[in-house]
């Protein structure tokens, strides 16, 4: 099937300022907001690279190949083969029955044995509160696709393996009544909501401070600290595309606390504060984690989780520009 044409905006100069909060901040943006956050963000992600994989592959069991996409926005893309295909929402732009059905038909035509879909804020038909008047009373044909809306499913794979999936479309409010599944950002709607035995979590929005341009949900972050799913797939923030390991240690706590600190600019960061202590903790636990991983555990991986922002469209556009993410569990 033909892929959508890849188009991209012209890159921003490092000394310019971004024009849209959904585009990545430039170097100047980061420096003026907080030099210490900018430096620690860079150091933290360098340390993550050296720590390696966040979990070990299963021994004596065939791997499960999980193909992750999100935010296709009516586009179709070339999708690698795998055991399960996950779409983390925003199949469409307008959220009409016609747009959604076209995306479902495309997904159903793909060869993956199992396919899981959740809705996004643009998929308004799925939320009765945002459903268009002309779509009321109309039905979708899901075919063989598993649609998850605040519920779980257990799927069986080769070698007798099983994975528990939980999916939810809910996001902090980011638009008007035509957007679906929104909640007030100051609320904590995720508390004790995700089943503890969840292996793969699928949400439309990201957790706070991870692949989110600081637009993610703090309540969701607290919940994944409780559940610690092996894999968390999401989208919504297109410019956050990519993957990031979580190791659930004091270094991660210090990093998230520092990223949540009110940005005071260059002058405030020069003054000694608790931010300096958190910065040292990020460095110490990162180095400690690398030594433990390499010397004690080996390079195969540790005991953490993997986050994947699977948005395939580029920055604040609806044009395809990000690669499809594939994970083996």
Residues 221-245 have pLDDT tens digits of 999 999 999 999 999 999 999 999 9
Tokens at 274, concatenated:
């608790």
Tokens at 300, concatenated:
């195969």
pLDDT number for residue 5: 37
Q: Which residues of 301-311 are buried (b: 16+ CB within 10 A; e: fewer)?
A: bbebbbbbbbb
Tell me the whole-structure pTM to 2 decimals: 0.92
Pairing of β 114-117 and β 84-87: parallel
| Cα 117 to Cα 168: distance, rounded to the nearest angstrom | 10
21 contacts: CB under 8 Å, gap ≥ 6: 213, 215
pLDDT band at 155 (very low <50, low <70, confident <90, very high): very high
HSE on the CB side for 223, CA within 13 Å?
A: 25
Mean pLDDT of 180-185: 94
pLDDT per position as a tens digit, 258-312: 999 987 778 878 888 899 999 999 999 999 998 887 676 554 456 799 999 999 9
Rg for the chain, CA atoms, rounded: 20
Distances from the Cα of 140 to the Cαs of 96, 99, 107, 119, 287, in angstroms? 10, 11, 14, 13, 51
Count Cβ atoms below 10 Å from residue 23 Cβ, excluding itself: 18
Domain definitions of the chain by residue range: 25-54+249-301, 60-240+303-328
Q: Determine contact, residues 272/37, Cβ cutoff 8 Å.
A: no
Q: Output phi, psi for 232, to 5 deg.
A: -125, 115
98 contacts: CB under 8 Å, gap ≥ 6: none
Count Cβ atoms below 10 Å from residue 14 Cβ, excluding itself: 11
Residue 84, strand partner residues = 66, 114
Count Cβ atoms below 10 Å from residue 154 Cβ, excluding itself: 10
Q: Does domain 60-240+303-328 have CATH number 1.20.1440.120?
A: no
Pairing of β 162-168 and β 151-156: antiparallel
Residue 309, strand partner residues = 234, 242
Instruction: Walk across the sheet containing 65-69 and list its strands.
Output: 146-147, 114-117, 84-87, 65-69, 325-328
Mean pLDDT of 130-158: 96
> Which one has a higher pLDDT value, 230 or 20?
230
Helix (H) or strand (E) holding 234, with range, is: strand 231-234
Whether 11 shows a pLDDT value over 70: the answer reads no
pLDDT per position as a tens digit, 298-310: 544 567 999 999 9
pLDDT band at 2 (very low <50, low <70, confident <90, very high): very low
CA-based nearest residue to 150, from 176, 127, 123, 174? 127
pLDDT number for residue 28: 85
Whether 68 shows a pLDDT value over 70: the answer reads yes
| Cα 321 to Cα 323: distance, rounded to the nearest angstrom | 7
């Amino acid at each position: 099937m033909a892929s959508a044409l890849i188009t991209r905006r012209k890159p921003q100069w490092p000394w310019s300022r971004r024009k849209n909060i959904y585009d990545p901040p430039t170097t100047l943006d980061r420096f003026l907001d907080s030099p210490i956050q900018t430096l620690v963000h860079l150091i933290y992600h360098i340390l993550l690279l050296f720590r390696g994989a966040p979990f070990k592959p299963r021994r004596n069991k065939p791997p499960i190949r999980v193909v992750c996409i999100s935010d296709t926005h009516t586009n179709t893309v070339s999708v690698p083969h795998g055991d399960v295909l996950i779409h983390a929402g925003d199949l469409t732009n307008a959220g009409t029955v016609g747009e959604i059905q076209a995306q479902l038909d495309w997904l159903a035509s793909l060869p993956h044995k199992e396919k899981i879909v959740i809705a996004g804020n643009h998929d308004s038909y799925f939320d009765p509160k945002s459903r268009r008047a002309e779509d009321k009373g109309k039905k979708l044909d899901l075919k063989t696709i598993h649609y998850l809306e605040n519920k779980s499913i257990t799927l069986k794979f080769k070698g007798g393996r099983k994975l528990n999936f939980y999916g939810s479309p809910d996001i902090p409010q980011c638009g008007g009544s035509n957007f679906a599944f929104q909640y007030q950002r100051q609320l904590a709607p995720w508390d004790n909501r995700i089943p503890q035995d969840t292996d793969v979590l699928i949400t439309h929005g990201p957790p706070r401070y991870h692949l989110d341009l600081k637009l993610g949900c703090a309540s969701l972050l607290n919940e994944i600290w409780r559940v610690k799913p092996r894999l968390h797939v999401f989208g919504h923030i297109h410019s956050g595309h990519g993957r990031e390991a979580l190791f659930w240690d004091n270094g991660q706590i210090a990093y998230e606390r520092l990223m949540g600190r009110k940005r005071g600019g260059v002058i405030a960061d020069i003054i000694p504060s608790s931010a300096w202590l958190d910065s040292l903790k990020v460095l110490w636990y990162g180095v400690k984690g690398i030594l433990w991983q390499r010397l004690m555990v080996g390079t195969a991986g540790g005991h953490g989780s993997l986050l994947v922002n699977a948005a395939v469209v580029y920055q604040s556009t609806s044009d395809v520009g990000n690669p499809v993410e594939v994970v083996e569990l």
